[in-house]
Amino acid sequence: MSLLITNIGELVTNDPAAAPGDLLGVRTDAAVVLTDGVVSWVGAAADAPAADEVFDARGRAVLPGFVDSHSHLVFAGDRALEFQARMAGESYAAGGIRTTVAATRAASDDQLAAGVARHVAEMRRQGTTTLEIKSGYGLSVDDEARSLRVAREFTDETTFLGAHVVAPEYADDPAGYVDLVTGPMLAAAAPHARWIDVFCERGAFDEDQARTILAAGTAAGLKGRLHANQLGEGPGVRLAAELGLTAVDHCTYLSDDDVHALRDAGTVATLLPGVEFSTRHPYPSGRRLIDAGVTVAVASDCNPGSCYTSSLPFCIALAVREMGMTPAEAVWAASAGGAAALGRTDVGRVVPGARADLTLLDAPTHVHLAYRPGVPLVARTWTA
Ligand SMILES: [Zn+2]
């Protein structure tokens, strides 16, 4: 089965070879052929080969499907009252996670899966075609393992985040909790996960604990990533660079040394502007990172506490308005950047051989994603 998408006014390829000097590799008056779940041809509409079916994009923009490299979709309940209180002046601390832990533990597998399905559908309607999902609201051996089993029904990019916060049962014994996370919990989680993550932050896990947990995860065949430097400067970003992790997420408070370490290590800095929006914290500067030569991804961090948006178009608009990024940089960060943050080369680009994951906008150009914030511009997606 082949599909020709033609009459594309602006095709974002993220392929440097498509338009030298242009970050997004934009082609105009373009066409794409998708064959059996793979991009099989990209070029000028006038040169397009025949295909089994034809879709006329009528001059609109087509982009790679967005790659959301950071979400926490396995949870129950919501925290609207906590958000309301925060907007009335109370500050955000990592401890609110425990509210969601209690609700998640009380939910059935079917209830958790229904919640993930609902949020994945939201994401798809907003152009996301690849997503990562973390555990981290179970915090017991069984609840972390089943969270990851549920997540695996929706994506291969699953992340074991038993080290989200110390489980309530271990409030007086954090060392005992680290032993649990690196022992039986990891053993139960690893078959269902590709990544291991630690919330390395005051109130969560310190540098030594993060090192221990990541080392255990690596020994179990998982790849490391970190939540770091969200609430203040700290050791997490430096640790991510030292360990050569694929990505480190949040990066809200960075020293110059942190920025240089990220650049030198090639570790992707994943910015989560919805978090700053939803916590009224100051935004990090994407501009500073990009100008320093750091690879930047933008992701949603969709979760019920610090950021309950599933919308990458919203995050793109925030990255442009609040983080000093151009529309092109923000779109790149939410597609090719997200792919880089997951160590993937088969998504986030429209090139022959890539997965057939595309997003069609009801707009002539990607610029509209930031120019028209809050507007449902995604007309449809195609996925492999
Ligand atoms: Zn997160």
Range of the domain at 30: 2-65+349-382
Domain count of the chain? 2
**Is there a single domain that holds both residue 185 and residue 312?**
yes
Please tell me the distance between residue 89's alpha carbon and the centre of ligand 1 in angstroms. 22
Instruction: Tell me what pLDDT residue 94 has.
Output: 55
Q: Compute and round to an integer the Cα radius of gyration of the chain.
A: 20
Instruction: Tell me what pLDDT residue 90 has.
Output: 82
Please tell me the distance between residue 72's alpha carbon and the centre of ligand 1 in angstroms. 6
DSSP secondary structure letter of residue 181: I
Query: In the numeric block, which tokens belong to residue 320?
Result: 């442009």
**Is there a single domain that holds both residue 82 and residue 209?**
yes
Quick check: helix, strand or coil at residue 227? strand
- State the helix-helix crossing angle for 109-125 and 141-152, rounded to 10 degrees: 40
Task: Report, in this order, helix, strand and coil percent for the chain, each rounded to 5.
Answer: 40, 25, 40
Query: In the numeric block, which tokens belong to residue 170?
Result: 């271990």
Please tell me the distance between residue 74's alpha carbon and the centre of ligand 1 in angstroms. 12
pLDDT in tens, 335-344: 999 999 999 9
**Is there a single domain that holds both residue 182 and residue 312?**
yes
Instruction: Tell me what pLDDT residue 98 has.
Output: 83
Strand partners, 39: 34
pLDDT in tens, 137-184: 999 999 999 999 999 999 999 999 999 999 999 999 999 999 999 999
Average pLDDT of the residues in 48-55: 98
**Is there a single domain that holds both residue 251 and residue 334?**
yes
- Give the pLDDT band (50/70/90) at residue 56: very high
pTM of the full predicted structure? 0.97
Instruction: Tell me what pLDDT residue 92 has.
Output: 61
**Is there a single domain that holds both residue 215 and residue 263?**
yes
Count Cβ atoms below 10 Å from residue 175 Cβ, excluding itself.
Answer: 11
Q: What is the CATH number of the domain that holds 327?
A: 3.20.20.140
Please tell me the distance between residue 71's alpha carbon and the centre of ligand 1 in angstroms. 6
Instruction: Tell me what pLDDT residue 312 has.
Output: 98
Listing DSSP states for 310-378 in one string gives --HHHHHHHHHHHS---HHHHHHHTTHHHHHHTT-SSSSS-STTSB--EEEESSSSTTHHHHSTT---E
Please tell me the distance between residue 1's alpha carbon and the centre of ligand 1 in angstroms. 38
pLDDT in tens, 234-243: 999 999 999 9
**Is there a single domain that holds both residue 266 and residue 313?**
yes
Please tell me the distance between residue 197's alpha carbon and the centre of ligand 1 in angstroms. 9
Please tell me the distance between residue 301's alpha carbon and the centre of ligand 1 in angstroms. 5
The three-state (H, E, C) secondary structure of 232-295, written as one string: CCCCHHHHHHHCCCCEEEECCCCCHHHHHHHHHHCCEEEECHHHHHHHCCCCCCHHHHHHCCCC
Please tell me the distance between residue 112's alpha carbon and the centre of ligand 1 in angstroms. 18
**Is there a single domain that holds both residue 373 and residue 229?**
no
Please tell me the distance between residue 269's alpha carbon and the centre of ligand 1 in angstroms. 13
pLDDT in tens, 240-258: 999 999 999 999 999 999 9
Asked if 42 and 22 count as a contact pair (C-beta separation under 8 A), the reply is no
Please tell me the distance between residue 152's alpha carbon and the centre of ligand 1 in angstroms. 18
On the question of pLDDT at 95 being above 70, the answer is no
Please tell me the distance between residue 313's alpha carbon and the centre of ligand 1 in angstroms. 18
Asked if 123 and 131 count as a contact pair (C-beta separation under 8 A), the reply is yes
**Is there a single domain that holds both residue 71 and residue 39?**
no
Please tell me the distance between residue 82's alpha carbon and the centre of ligand 1 in angstroms. 17
Please tell me the distance between residue 246's alpha carbon and the centre of ligand 1 in angstroms. 16
**Is there a single domain that holds both residue 310 and residue 219?**
yes
**Is there a single domain that holds both residue 61 and residue 71?**
no
Which amino acid makes up residue 283?
Y
**Is there a single domain that holds both residue 140 and residue 41?**
no
Please tell me the distance between residue 375's alpha carbon and the centre of ligand 1 in angstroms. 25
Q: What is the CATH number of the domain that holds 46?
A: 2.30.40.10
Please tell me the distance between residue 14's alpha carbon and the centre of ligand 1 in angstroms. 26
Please tell me the distance between residue 248's alpha carbon and the centre of ligand 1 in angstroms. 10
Top pLDDT among 197 and 82 is at 197
Instruction: Tell me what pLDDT residue 97 has.
Output: 84
Please tell me the distance from the alpha carbon of residue 21 to that of residue 163, in angstroms, as a whole number: 42
Please tell me the distance between residue 256's alpha carbon and the centre of ligand 1 in angstroms. 23
On the question of pLDDT at 93 being above 90, the answer is no
Please tell me the distance between residue 284's alpha carbon and the centre of ligand 1 in angstroms. 16
Please tell me the distance between residue 27's alpha carbon and the centre of ligand 1 in angstroms. 34
Residue among 155, 137, 130, 213 nearest 146 (CA): 137
**Is there a single domain that holds both residue 111 and residue 183?**
yes
Using CB atoms within 10 Å of the CB of residue 53, give its burial: 0 to 12 exposed, 13 to 18 middle, 19+ buried: exposed
Using CB atoms within 10 Å of the CB of residue 234, give its burial: 0 to 12 exposed, 13 to 18 middle, 19+ buried: buried
Please tell me the distance between residue 271's alpha carbon and the centre of ligand 1 in angstroms. 10
Residue among 156, 152, 86, 43 nearest 384 (CA): 156
pLDDT in tens, 274-324: 999 999 999 999 999 999 999 999 999 999 999 999 999 999 999 999 999
Please tell me the distance from the alpha carbon of residue 381 to that of residue 358, in angstroms, as a whole number: 5
For tokens 């007086």, name the residue.
172
Please tell me the distance between residue 299's alpha carbon and the centre of ligand 1 in angstroms. 10
Q: How many residues does the chain have?
A: 384
Please tell me the distance between residue 62's alpha carbon and the centre of ligand 1 in angstroms. 29
Average pLDDT of the residues in 122-137: 98
- Give the pLDDT band (50/70/90) at residue 89: confident
